[in-house]
Amino acid sequence: MTIDGSDLVGTDRNRETILRFFDALSRHDWDAVADCLSDDFVFYPNPDERETLRGRDAFVESQRGVIEGLPDLTVEVLDVVAEGDVVASRLRVSGTHQGEFMGIPASGNHVELEIANFSRCDEDGKIVEDRDYFDGLALMQQLGVDFG
């Protein structure tokens, strides 16, 4: 316990859960991804993206779809800050657009994107809520979408 009464053990545990989660995503290890998530997990994607996903299985299935379009996708954790049950991360996601992704046919383009991610963990150290924020227009341009 710290001077302000915060739970350092829980904070450290939550930080480690997030690091394991992003490592598992980067390795496309779906069992390890699912193991980091609570039963009632909710994913709030980038506001200009798809709808909210509810449940561990729905999230894992959505990520399998991402990998179909970007099979070499990796997630690099650049920064992590944890306080209590909340963990904030700055990520660099990169991969090659080799299959259909978000309805866009494969372009062969390399995609690299920074994401601000905010997660909340429960008392068992499982992720119950995850939010991503990134530049959706930059992603579309990298995928080869012509807005002209």
Q: How confident is the model at residue 146 (pLDDT cuts 50, 70, 90)?
A: confident
Distance separating alpha carbons of residues 16 and 42, to the nearest angstrom: 19
Q: What is the pLDDT at residue 1?
A: 43
What tens digit of pLDDT does each residue of 6-63 get? 555 788 999 999 999 999 999 999 999 999 999 999 999 877 666 899 999 999 999 9
Question: If you write DSSP's letter for every residue of 40-75 in order, what string do you get?
Answer: EEEEE--TTSS--EESHHHHHHHHHHHHHH-TT-EE
Please name the helix (run of DSSP H) or strand (run of DSSP E) that holds residue 28, with its range, or none. Answer: none
Amino acid at 27: R
Domain range list for the chain: 8-142
pLDDT in tens, 109-128: 999 999 999 999 999 999 99
> Which CATH fold topology does 8-142 show?
Nuclear Transport Factor 2; Chain: A, (3.10.450)
pTM: 0.89
pLDDT of amino acid 4: 52
Read off the pLDDT of residues 66-84 as tens digits, 9 standing for 90 and up. Answer: 999 999 999 999 999 999 9
Asked whether 32 and 17 are in contact (CB, 8 A), the reply is no
**Model pLDDT, residue 49:** 65
